[in-house]
Amino acid sequence: MTMAKANQAAPVPRASLTARAPDFVRSYGIFIFLIAAIVVTFAISPAFLSGANVSNMLMQLAPLGIVVIGQTFVVLVRGLDLSVASVMATAAVIATSFGGQNSDAALIFLACIGMGAATGLANGLLVTKRNVSPFLATLAMMIVLQGLRFAATQGAPSGNIPSLFRQLGSATLSGMPYNLLVMIVVAILFGILLHRSAFGRRVYITGGNPVTARLVGIAADRVTILCYVICGSLAALAGLILSGFVGVVDNFVGRGFELDSIVAAVMGGVALSGGRGSIAGALAGATILVVLSNAVVMVGMPVQLQIIVKGLVIIIAASLYVRPARA
């Protein structure tokens, strides 16, 4: 895709340096904005920060956050994954296609993660070995998965989700949603992988400058493929959790998550041109999306304004990140 072009403007070595020694605004702007949004909404509607509403927002945050973590890996290597929502819905359909007993839970979990990983592998192979643009490769996989899902369920999925997943997706531990705990564990594990491991450094180099990556002996293709596999697997996990939250399965569990997850990552400072960004920033982006959607309702604006506000924030946030990269 054309993302490589945007990167031409920013000298690449500098880009990977800024990932480590970032200037104040770019690394903390998102958190400041998040706090400002919370304060303003709270001032207009104090119910916004009531225990029940906060718990509700955190429960909505968890599935999106898990997808965003995976999306971050893919965007870091100059890609993007449009198939995540389709993977989520497929995971939800898989979850109900067993008997609905808790004894099947482990099997369901493995089947879902396997499906997500396989989708990611296909995406990664198309992108690296056939040089298909990530947009198209993942778009095509999205459509194929959707078709297979429709064919398998005859358009009307049915069945029950094991109560274990219902618990995980919708129960709280004295106000703290279980699904948020899952997201935190995932964030810590993949945060260590990305920010503290040799593999993580390879991800940044591969995305920051593929030529350098090749010259220093990094198997850039393998790194890229692994990023797509991580993204697919995490999307499947998020689909399982979301289906436990929704309770009813339809063919479109997770609809909109592909765009929301990309938007959240971009708002959180993950550059579409690759090699720059962090999981903490991406999660802050996801939190802003959830807070803004909630705030629109809490301050009494019509629901339609949710997507208008979302659209405005996308453009404003993205333009704030482009400017410093140009200077």
Partner 1 sequence: MTVQSSSLRRFFRGSQVGLFVVIGLLILLFVIGVSVSDRFATSRNILNVYEQSTGLALVSLGQTLAILTGGIDLSVGSIISLSSMLTSGLINGNPSMVLPVIAGVLLIGIVIGAINGGIITVTGVHPLIVTLGTGAILQGITLLYGLGPTGKVPRGFDYFAYGRLPAGFSVGATFALVVFLLAAFLLRNTRTGRHIYAVGDDPHAATLMGLPTRRVIMLVYILSGFFASLTAIYLVSRFGVGQPYTGANYTLSSITPVVVGGTMLAGGRGGVLGTLLGVYLVSLLNNLLNFLDVSTHFQLVAQGLVIIAAVSLYVEKRRIA
2 in contact with partner 1 (CB under 8 A): yes
- CB nearer to partner 1: give 166 or 255: 255
- CB nearer to partner 1: give 4 or 189: 4
Tell which one of 211, 215, 217, 300 touches partner 1 (CB under 8 A).
211
- DSSP codes joined into one string, 144-190: HHHHHHHHHHTT-------HHHHHHHH-EETTEEHHHHHHHHHHHHH
97 in contact with partner 1 (CB under 8 A): no
Neighbouring residues of 112: CB distance < 8 A, sequence distance ≥ 6: 91, 94, 95, 236, 237, 239, 240
144 in contact with partner 1 (CB under 8 A): yes
CB of 5 to partner 1, least distance (A): 6
- CB nearer to partner 1: give 151 or 198: 151
Tell which one of 210, 232, 239, 285 touches partner 1 (CB under 8 A).
210
259 in contact with partner 1 (CB under 8 A): yes
| Rounded Cα–Cα distance for residues 245 and 248 (Å) | 9
DSSP state of 259: H
**Span near partner 1 by CB under 8 A; candidates 4-12, 90-98, 110-118, 193-201:** 4-12
CB 283 within 8 A of CB 265: no
- CB nearer to partner 1: give 182 or 314: 314
Residues 295-314 as x/- pattern, contact with partner 1 by CB under 8 A: -------x-xxxxx-xxx-x
**Span near partner 1 by CB under 8 A; candidates 208-216, 217-225, 242-250, 282-290:** 208-216
| Rounded Cα–Cα distance for residues 84 and 258 (Å) | 6
| Rounded Cα–Cα distance for residues 138 and 120 (Å) | 9
Task: Give, as ranges, the residues between 72 and 91 that touch partner 1 (CB under 8 A).
Answer: none
- CB nearer to partner 1: give 121 or 184: 121
- CB nearer to partner 1: give 52 or 215: 215
Q: Which helix (H) or strand (E) holds 56?
A: helix 51-76
Secondary structure class of 62 (helix, strand, coil):
helix
**Span near partner 1 by CB under 8 A; candidates 112-120, 146-154, 196-204, 233-241:** 146-154
CB 149 within 8 A of CB 88: no
| Rounded Cα–Cα distance for residues 149 and 31 (Å) | 39
Best CA proximity match to 60, nearest among 320, 317, 286, 214: 286
**Span near partner 1 by CB under 8 A; candidates 25-33, 62-70, 96-104, 206-214:** 206-214
Tell which one of 151, 173, 198, 327 touches partner 1 (CB under 8 A).
151
DSSP state of 10: S
Give the angle subtended at the CA of 235 by the CAs of 234 and 239, to the nearest 5°. 115
Tell which one of 19, 76, 141, 168 touches partner 1 (CB under 8 A).
141
Best CA proximity match to 318, nearest among 2, 6, 40, 5: 6
| Rounded Cα–Cα distance for residues 13 and 224 (Å) | 19
136 in contact with partner 1 (CB under 8 A): yes
Residues of this chain that interact with partner 1 (CB under 8 A) are 1-9, 12, 126, 130-133, 135-137, 139-144, 146-148, 150-151, 154-155, 209-211, 259, 262-263, 266, 272, 302, 304-308, 310-312, 314-315, 318-319, 322-323, 326
